[in-house]
Amino acid sequence: MKRSASVLAGLLGLAVVAWAAPGRAQTGTVKINGVATPVYFNDGDTFRSLAGPYRNRAARLAGYNTLESYGSAHQWGGWTVREMYSLAKQATLNARRGLWNCSLDPSEKDGYGRFLAICPDLQYDQIKNGFAHVLSVDGDAPMRLLVAQRDAIAHRRGIWAKGVPAMVITSTHAASERFDTKDNYNRLVSPLDGTSLKWKHQDDYDECENVCWKAKTAERSKLIEVIGALRHDERTRPIVHGYEDPYLLALLAEYVATDRVAHIFLEKGDVPVKAKLDELLKAGAFGALKETPASCMIYVGFDRRYRIAPKPRCLK
C-alpha cells in the first residue's frame, strides 16, 4: 500500500513537471463539425479555437466537468489541494494529446457566452480515466458516460483514487458577488449520475477561505451491511447485481447526504432501491449519522482568479 501511494505521488509530480516543461506543445487539434482545427485547451473541458470561423472564440465542452485548473482549489477524501491541482492539470494534458471529434452549434451558448461543444470521444476518455466527472444540468446523462464513470470509480482511477464524495462542489459564489442575492448558490454535482444541485446560501467568503459542503455520513461498516441487504432483498437483488462495492458505497453516501438515489440503473431501478433504503434508514440500519465536510473548494473571486495580478497566494 505504501509503495502504491509513493508511485501515485510520483505520477502526480511528473504531471506538474510535464505541465511546466519548456517547449511543450500548448495546443491540441479537434475536428469541429468535421473540420480539423487547432485549439488551445484552457483546461480539460474548455478550449479556444485558433483558426477557422470560430477563431478566438471559447467553447465549453458539454456533458462532463474537470477540476478547476486556475490554482489549487478542490479537496475531498484523502487528497490535498495540491494533489487535486495536479489532477486538474493532467486532465488538460489529456485533452491536448488527442484528436477529438466535436460538434458545435454557434446558436447554443452557456451562461458565460461560450459556445457549447459536444465531443463524445473526449467526454468518454476523460471520464473513463478519472480525469473528469459526468455533468448533466438538464435531464439524465447518457448511459455510456455513466458506465465509464462507474468503471473509473470501481477501479479508483484519477480523482476517485482516494474516495468519492457524497457530492462534488464545482463552484463557489459569495453573496457579495451578486446584485440580487436571493438565488445565490454554490453548485454541487452528483459523482454518480452528474445531476447538478444548487446549494443556496447568503454567506460572504474571505479570499482563500476553504468552503466545505457538510453532509450526513454513516460508518463504513454500516454501509457494507446495507449493501448486503440490497443484495439479498428480492426487490433490489436483480437491480444491484454486478455493481461493485466501491460504486454502491458512493451511491449510499449520496443517499445519506441528500436523500436521493442517483439515476444509474436501467428501467427506473432507482425507485425500488430508494424504497428499500428508506425502509432500512427508518429501521436504524445506517446507525448513528454524523455531519462531516464532504467536499471542499477554496474561494477566490472571478477577477482575482483571472484578471487581477498577482494571483492570491493560495492559488500559486
- Residue that wins the pLDDT comparison between 88 and 4: 88
Does the pLDDT value for residue 6 go beyond 70?
no
- The secondary structure of residue 69, as a DSSP letter, is -
State percent of the chain over pLDDT 70: 92
Mean pLDDT of 268-294: 97
Does the pLDDT value for residue 104 go beyond 80?
yes
DSSP string, 175-213: GGG-SS-TT-EEEEE-TTT-BEEEEE------TT-EEEE
Residue 4 pLDDT class (50, 70, 90 cuts): very low
* Residue 16 within a domain: no
pLDDT of residue 9: 43
* Residue 181 within a domain: yes
State percent of the chain over pLDDT 90: 82
Between β-strands 210-217 and 64-66, what pairing exists: parallel, antiparallel or unpaired?
unpaired
Q: Is residue 94 domain-shared with residue 130, that is, in the same domain?
A: yes
pLDDT, the chain, mean: 91
The pTM of the full predicted model, rounded to 2 decimals, is: 0.89
Number of domains in the chain: 3
Q: Is residue 188 domain-shared with residue 237, that is, in the same domain?
A: no
pLDDT of residue 18: 38
Over residues 160-184, the pLDDT tens digits come to 999 999 999 999 999 998 888 889 9
Question: How does 10-32 read in b/e, with b if 16+ C-beta sit within 10 Å?
Answer: eebeebeeebeeeeeeeebebeb
d(CA 45, CA 106): 17
Q: Is residue 192 domain-shared with residue 259, that is, in the same domain?
A: no
Q: Is residue 152 domain-shared with residue 86, that is, in the same domain?
A: yes
CA 62 to chain centre: 13
Q: Is residue 58 domain-shared with residue 106, that is, in the same domain?
A: yes
Q: Is residue 48 domain-shared with residue 132, that is, in the same domain?
A: yes
Q: Are 16 and 89 in contact (CB under 8 A)?
A: yes
Over residues 249-261, the pLDDT tens digits come to 999 999 999 999 9
pLDDT of residue 26: 63
In the chain, % helix, strand, coil (3-state, to 5) comes to 35, 25, 40
pLDDT of residue 309: 85
Q: Is residue 172 domain-shared with residue 311, that is, in the same domain?
A: yes
Find, among 192, 199, 187, the residue nearest to 262 by Cα: 192
Q: Which helix (H) or strand (E) holds 305?
A: helix 302-306
Mean pLDDT of 12-17: 41
Per the structure, the complete domain to which residue 65 belongs is given by 28-157
Mean pLDDT of 298-303: 92
* Residue 188 within a domain: yes
